[in-house]
Amino acid sequence: MFVDDLSWRAADGWSAPNASSRDVALVLCFGDREALAPSARFDELRSLYPAAHILGCSTGGQIRGNEIVDDEIVGVALTFAKTTVRVARAPVAHPSRSRQTGIDIGEALAGDDLVGVFVLSEGLGVNGSELVAGLSGAVGSAIPVTGGLAGDGEHFHETIVLADGPAESGIVGAVGFYGAHVRFVSATAGGWAPFGPRRAITRSDGNVLHELDGKPALDLYARYLGEEDIAGLPGTALHFPLLVRDRENLDREVVRTVLAIDHDERTMTFAGDMPVGWTAQLMRGSFDRLAASAGRAARGTSPGQAEAPTGDRIALLVSCIGRRLLMGEHIVDEVEAAGRALAPDVRRLGYYSNGEIGPHEITGKPELHNQSIIVTTVHEA
């Protein structure tokens, strides 16, 4: 496998080595919504890499090596020796259709030699948990599914996805890696610590949370955020994700983060289900713990690096926008920590997302995560 970096600046346009090669099979790119939205961006890429599948999405910041950039589109062009890839796309017209969208994509990608799926989804109008459940069910639970929801900085206004076509909102795109030689390994880490009492989810509707302990959920957040941060909702709610636990099965615990709020109804929409009867506990992160968890996720991919690679290796990092908002200037610590945990030759590319898709830390089952970082390494052996 060969990995070529590419980038786009408003001032300079594309910088794309090895362009026009018909050997490039896959282009992955991440960028600011406004930069990525014009159809010209896709047309340009298509003309640069006529034979490649093209997959990308809007973000809350791009990761390239130890850098975090906001004003560039970053990407990679991958050329495989013995591996094939296939891209599938499907619309998600309404969050309630999320599972079906996942199934459609999964069925399009399913195959005997499928090794892993990297999925980029609409970042607001989707129930990520359902999407992953549908997709994972269709390709089989043994196949790792990683990726994330598209981002929109701290605006939570609109997200877009490119999948072998110009960027649009309300779609899901995914690439499947096939063949005996490709290695696709991923790991998840959070680093957030729960605090305060456990609260019961007393009223919810799918991923819309109405009440905790019989009181409007939004009131609790308003209290914790204080005057200073209330104005910044829903973005500021990312400082306090929720640790959601199945009371009957404590292993079933996931971190949920806010996507939207409804001031009139006093409800909050989360990136995944909030089942009634489960408990929810506020979480908070510290700079050091979050950074350390990125290193842990990167180290989690090491089993995939046991064999000597043929050609280049790449690590795809999907981290939560909430982490970036909390850490501010310190966010670079997390990228560096991941870098330190990986072999020096592993190229790193990624983005800040509205939701991360990767293995559950305990069960290994593909799930939607919030406030986490997912590291997926891909190479040929």
User: Nearest distance from residue 196's CB to another protein, in Å?
Assistant: 4
Three-state SS annotation for 220-252: HHHHHHHHHHHCCCCHHHHHCCEEEECCCCCCC
Residue type, 289: R
Nearer to another protein, 158 or 229 (CB): 229
Identify which of residues 14 and 224 has a Cβ nearer to another protein in the complex. Answer: 224
Q: How far apart are CA 142 and CA 137, in angstroms?
A: 10
Q: State the nearest-atom distance from the C-beta of 218 to another protein, in Å.
A: 15
SS3 state of residue 302: helix
The footprint of another protein (CB under 8 A) covers: 195-197, 223-224, 226, 228-229, 239-240, 282, 284, 287, 326, 328-330, 332-333
Nearer CB in complex with another protein: 64/379: 64
User: Which of 205/288 has CB closer to another protein?
Assistant: 288
Spatial CB neighbours of 225, under 8 Å, sequence gap ≥ 6: 232, 233, 236, 237, 239, 240
| Shortest CB 240 distance to another protein, Å | 7
Q: How far is the CB of 220 from another protein (least distance, A)?
A: 10
Nearer to another protein, 82 or 340 (CB): 340
Minimum gap (Å) between residue 271 Cβ and another protein: 21
- Put the strands of the sheet holding 72-79 in their side by side order: 13-15, 2-9, 72-79, 24-31, 53-58, 161-163
Closer to another protein at the Cβ: 72 or 333? 333
* Structural contact between residues 189 and 294, judged by C-beta atoms closer than 8 angstroms: yes
| Shortest CB 30 distance to another protein, Å | 21
The distance from CA 100 to its chain's CA centroid, rounded to whole angstroms, is: 19
Residue located via tokens 């968890």: 293
